[in-house]
Amino acid sequence: MFAAARVAAGTGVDDVPGATVADVLDTARQRYGDGFAEVAARCMIWVNGEPADGATAVGADDEVAVLPPVSGGMDE
């Protein structure tokens, strides 16, 4: 988990069970509460470095990354 997701969860890494991305996120929402759920609703989800959606299958060796939107940029 990165940025706001990490803050909301209180950790950057956890082992969260689930057969799909949706399962993993549901378990994470239950584990970390409403603050995490609010952040997660705005996040991109990647599995093993590739964009994923809720139906994406995952296994014990897969990495599910929760990436909040990034704002800002370079001023000229």
pLDDT tens for each residue of 13-58: 677 889 999 999 999 889 888 887 888 888 889 999 999 999 999 9
Task: Please answer whether residues 20 and 56 qualify as being in contact, where contact means their C-beta atoms are separated by less than 8 angstroms.
Answer: yes
Sheet holding 50-51, edge to edge: 50-51, 44-47, 64-67
pTM: 0.76
Domain-embedded: residue 76: no
* CATH (domain of 47): 3.10.20.30
Residue 12 has pLDDT above 70, yes or no: no
How many residues can be counted in the chain? 76
Helix (H) or strand (E) holding 40: helix 34-40
Neighbouring CB atoms inside 10 A of 52's CB total: 19
Domain-embedded: residue 50: yes
d(CA 32, CA 35): 7
Check residue 10 and give its pLDDT: 64
